[in-house]
Structure 1
């Protein structure tokens, strides 16, 4: 896609976050299955349900701009997923993997917040008030999840990581 104007820039960004959310839907299942505590498993499961709703909102945004939902590969999220796969292959202790999963979740939340933070003002500039509201809602949910993960990281028992 050649970006020639604000709408093109918006649609391209929308395609990237749509791809990101779809990839994270699967990644959250992996984070849930590789976590050893019920609290982490439950958190990733709940966020997976929230991500499904966010994908639906993104599809509404595509509709608002007269576009069919289309995903464009995002190398940033691919790199994050690859880093997790490589860490898991090292067969770390449960505690180390749990802490890594928390950090992986935080990284993806920061990235998603940045994406939504860039798309929302573009939607505003294009006069897409409903789209801006939907994107803002997704961004608020990502911020709440980041806050939850940050708290989990602060409360993490590092004694669980075997030396």
Structure 2
């Protein structure tokens, strides 16, 4: 009987241990496991959200990069167009300046030609007057000859 009593005592002790464990030990353990499962689930959800956010950020960065490249290409095209305009303007300005310089030089040449003609005319007139004076020194009426020489000088 000792075997039975000892078995019954062990069974009662085991039952008390099970009741104690179910009442005091098991609820905190299940609570900790539930909390840990919840934390793991939240972490997985956060990882999924982070993965989606990363994909969205990569798409946005690719779009921004494409837009930046397009803007850079447009800016380069505009700069090239402006450079061509500046070159054309410079050519036009240089042509106008060259024409102005040529016209100025031609005007100066014309002035020098006129001056040379006038100088030559004066020299011819002086020579004519000198020749006429020599001729007139032989003739008597100096006033008539002076009038004639003035008219000849004016014509030349």
Normalising to structure 2: TM-score of the pair? 0.22
Normalising to structure 1: TM-score of the pair? 0.21
